[in-house]
Amino acid sequence: MKILLLGEYSNVHATLAEGLRALGHEVTVISNGDFWKNYPRDIDVSRPSGKFGGLRLISKLYWLLPKMKGYDVVQLINPMFFEIKAERHFFFYDYIRKHNKKVFLGAFGMDWFWVYYCSVKKPLRYSDFNFGDKVRTDEEALKEQKDWIGTTKERLNKHIAETCDGIITGLYEYWACYHRAIPRKTTFIPFPIRCPQNISISSAIPTKVRIFIGINKNRSVYKGTDIMLRAALDVQSKYPDKMQLIKAESVPFAQYQQMMDGSDAILDQLYAYTPSMNPLLAMSKGIICIGGGEPENYEIINETELRPIINVEPNYESVYKEVEHLVLHPELIPTLKRQSVEYVRKHHDYLKVARQYLSYWESCGN
Domain that holds residue 32: 2-192+349-363
Give me the residues of the chain with pLDDT under 50, please: none
Same domain, 56 and 161: yes
Same domain, 327 and 354: no
- Distance CA(211)–CA(333), nearest Å, equals 12
Give the count of domains, the chain: 2
What pLDDT does 276 receive? 94
Same domain, 292 and 359: no
Please check whether residue 200 lies inside any domain of the structure. no
Same domain, 86 and 180: yes
Please check whether residue 197 lies inside any domain of the structure. no
Same domain, 184 and 228: no
Same domain, 259 and 358: no
What pLDDT does 220 receive? 81
Please check whether residue 198 lies inside any domain of the structure. no
Same domain, 253 and 112: no
Please check whether residue 319 lies inside any domain of the structure. yes
Same domain, 232 and 259: yes
Please check whether residue 161 lies inside any domain of the structure. yes
Same domain, 184 and 35: yes
Same domain, 158 and 187: yes
Are 76 and 6 spatial neighbours (Cβ–Cβ below 8 Å)?
yes
Please check whether residue 201 lies inside any domain of the structure. no
- Distance CA(182)–CA(80), nearest Å, equals 19
Same domain, 39 and 96: yes
> Quick one: which of 100, 102, 105 has its CA closest to 76?
105
Please check whether residue 26 lies inside any domain of the structure. yes
Same domain, 152 and 23: yes
CATH number at 237 reads 3.40.50.2000
